[in-house]
Chains A and B, each alone.
Chain A
Amino acid sequence: MSHNLPTLLQVNNLVKDFPIREGVFRRVAGSLRAVDRVTFSIDEGETLGLVGESGCGKTTVGRAILRLVEPTAGLVIFSGDDLLSLSPREMDERRTNMQVVMQDPISSLDPRMSIKDIVAEPFVAHGRLKGQALRDRVAALLEMVGMAPQHLWRYPHELSGGQRQRINIARAIALSPRFLVLDEPTSALDVSVQAQILNLLADLQRDMKLTYLFISHDLSVIKHVSHRIAIMYLGRVVEIGPVDEVYDNPAHPYTQTLLAAIPAIDLDRKRKRFLISGEMPSALTPPPGCHFHTRCPLVQETCRRVEPAKATIGKEHSASCHLLR
């Protein structure tokens, strides 16, 4: 897409293990690898779509980048800063540049706070604005996300789902960040509301030159919003590339099955019926070799033993599958 733009975020071999505690004394008995050596980069002004089924680790990737959970290993370079080497205080200073919008619009808002206080919180927390200036700014933000100022005095439970997500977005862009992690921002919304929110996010990206990491399980939404997409399966990125190329030419068998499984309203869309059996294995006991081999229709002997290396398919398009070499 935007090849001449500088890279804003570089993620290298990101790993997140969650300890598993057992027994009365909560002893660490093992670990669950939620994110397994994930690597990607996002250019300035670009949207990277991160797709996968529930439990594949996509949400953890977003939270680990923002250090809402501490990554176990890897490198996260944001605008030249190595985020994982920063002290908590230094990290807090960088947080104004990177924000998050989460899936469930209602539980992302403190039910005891008015909309005014919710949107003002970033400024108050950073001691940036006060009094009338703050009130004006909050009203302006509400307008930016398409809400009338009389909502200032309302409380989250009085708003509709779409309005709540607008408030979440207003709070996220309050400090003029450069980068947003959008974690399933429209999954809890109805289609007609989803369309409004997707349009709003597109407008904001253009006007504020925002860079997005858009996490979703919905392939139609991802297709609509992303420039490039990365597909995750059981903690690993199995395929990454420009969105049109991946959709037209899915290389990894998992991507192919995923695309085939979407119930689509374009009834005449040509597609192979390519149903896979079974479900994603638990991350507690990941299968050896290629994680997908337990369900892959094209599985071979090597797949069960050896983890596939990344194979280049086209410009910026690569996938990890033994069949591609």
Chain B
Amino acid sequence: MGDLLLRVKDLYTHFYTFEGTVKALDGISLELKRAETLGLVGETGCGKSVTALSILGLIPCPPGKVEAAEIWFDGVDLLKLDKEEMRAIRGKKIAMIFQEPATALNPVFPVGEQTAEIIRIHKQVSKREGMQKAVEMFHLVGIPDPDRVSKKYPHELSGGMNQRVMIAAKLSSNPALLVADEPTTALDVTVQAQILQLMKGLVQRFRTAVIFITHDLGVVAEICDRVAVMYAGVIVESSKTRVLFENPRHPYTRSLLQAIPKLVERIDRLPVISGTVPSLINPPSGCRFHPRCSLADSPCKVEKPSPTSVEAEHWVSCFRYDQGD
């Protein structure tokens, strides 16, 4: 287990709002090895971003409250750190990129200068050296004519180009973990394909572990080594990427995969999951998916299923995963 980078155990995040307590995460446990890319996938409101923010200590409290048995990162228990130490870790060892790169960049400074600034926070180098390093990084992330681009402002660059700048800036500190929250959702398919390709290459080269948050199972298939599928604040299934697509066991994963229109086969009606996503203020008892599940049985309504190993590195949180074939 010397290769382990991150271990989260029984993570519960709640938000105290006017409407009531939102039980956003209900016992999330996950592990991440060095240089591994984990896809965190699920629909809006399933808690995938909250999971990442909770790990990074970025949940504002109040109204939020994060509790966990353990958040172990590279030899440190993140739960025991104070704000200042946490900030240091976030800057140096963990980096984040978001869906809208333009909003994460400062509009009044050229992108090269901003990147150099970030580099200088971590490495004691002169302004000139910082700038040089920034241009180097730009070259690395495939920005054409990096010298010229480094003098441009974020609004002068396209979304894809800004995302490249973000990746360059964030990878410059050579972090052990990169959290990418829907980094390609706002981009066009052809540009998305370029960015995914780029990330794949860089991650291998720098041996960076990645938590890749997305709603797009196609993107997961493209870039992730392992996947965790989330539903209503719970990880319902996790496995190697290929295994998940070839042999999905949780009823939710199965329905989700079926609901995507396929390019190859042609069907008239898409199979749908009945009902809607439950409120997290009054989540269903037992298995949170049971009201929408075609296999649900009486224990599903009462007891919360814990992750069961189906095969090597493949866990399913379901009592009846072997029923549906």
Interface positions of A (Cβ within 8 A of B)? 53-54, 160-163, 190-196, 198-199, 202, 217, 219-221, 223-225, 244, 247, 257-267, 269, 275-280
New A-B pairs, 17, CB < 8 Å, besides A244-B266, A279-B158: A54-B188, A160-B277, A163-B276, A190-B43, A191-B215, A191-B256, A192-B256, A192-B272, A195-B260, A220-B261, A223-B261, A223-B266, A260-B193, A265-B221, A278-B144, A279-B160, A280-B188
Task: Report Cα–Cα, A224/B189, bound state, in Å.
Answer: 18
Neighbouring B residues of A247 by C-beta, 8 Å: 263
- A221 x B261 contact (CB < 8 A): yes
Instruction: Name the residue among B161, B266, B271, B276 with the largest chain A CB count within 10 angstroms.
Output: B276
Instruction: Name the residue among B191, B242, B260 with the largest chain A CB count within 10 angstroms.
Output: B260
Given A191-B215, A265-B245, decide whether A160 and B264 contact each other with a Cβ distance below 8 A: no
Q: Is the interface of A mostly helix, strand, loop or mixed?
A: helix
Return 23 A-B CB contacts under 8 Å, by A number: A191-B259, A192-B255, A193-B276, A195-B260, A195-B271, A195-B272, A199-B272, A202-B269, A219-B263, A223-B266, A224-B267, A247-B263, A261-B190, A263-B192, A263-B196, A263-B219, A264-B263, A265-B260, A267-B221, A269-B263, A276-B190, A277-B194, A279-B161
Given A263-B218, A267-B245, A279-B158, decide whether A192 and B188 contact each other with a Cβ distance below 8 A: no
Q: Could you tell me the distance in whole angstroms from the C-beta of A68 to the nearest C-beta in chain B? A: 24
Q: Could you tell me the distance in whole angstroms from the C-beta of A110 to the nearest C-beta in chain B? A: 23
* Residues of B32-60 whose CB lies within 8 A of A: 43-44
B303: interface (CB < 8 Å): no
Tally of chain B residues near chain A (CB < 8 A): 44
Neighbouring B residues of A161 by C-beta, 8 Å: 44
Task: Report Cα–Cα, A247/B160, bound state, in Å.
Answer: 26
Interface positions of B (Cβ within 8 A of A)? 43-44, 144, 158, 160-161, 188-194, 196-197, 215-219, 221-222, 242, 245-246, 255-257, 259-264, 266-273, 276-277
Task: Report Cα–Cα, A217/B208, bound state, in Å.
Answer: 32
Neighbouring A residues of B263 by C-beta, 8 Å: 219-220, 223, 247, 259, 262, 264, 266, 269
Q: Could you tell me the distance in whole angstroms from the C-beta of B236 to the nearest C-beta in chain A? A: 13
Neighbouring A residues of B190 by C-beta, 8 Å: 53, 257-258, 261, 275-276, 279
Given A217-B189, A219-B263, A224-B261, decide whether A263 and B216 contact each other with a Cβ distance below 8 A: yes
Q: Of all chain A residues, which has the CB nearest B197?
A: A275
Q: Of all chain A residues, which has the CB nearest B186?
A: A54
Q: Could you tell me the distance in whole angstroms from the C-beta of A314 to the nearest C-beta in chain B? A: 19
Instruction: Name the residue among A191, A258, A275 with the largest chain B CB count within 10 angstroms.
Output: A191
Task: Report Cα–Cα, A193/B260, bound state, in Å.
Answer: 10
- B218 x A198 contact (CB < 8 A): no
Neighbouring A residues of B222 by C-beta, 8 Å: 263
Task: Report Cα–Cα, A244/B266, bound state, in Å.
Answer: 10
Given A247-B263, A263-B196, A279-B161, decide whether A160 and B218 contact each other with a Cβ distance below 8 A: no
Q: Could you tell me the distance in whole angstroms from the C-beta of A248 to the nearest C-beta in chain B? A: 10
Task: Report Cα–Cα, A190/B259, bound state, in Å.
Answer: 10
- B259 x A192 contact (CB < 8 A): yes
Given A220-B260, A223-B261, decide whether A199 and B218 contact each other with a Cβ distance below 8 A: no
- B189 x A198 contact (CB < 8 A): no
Task: Report Cα–Cα, A196/B256, bound state, in Å.
Answer: 12
Neighbouring B residues of A224 by C-beta, 8 Å: 261-262, 266-267, 270
Neighbouring A residues of B44 by C-beta, 8 Å: 161, 190
Task: Report Cα–Cα, A264/B217, bound state, in Å.
Answer: 8
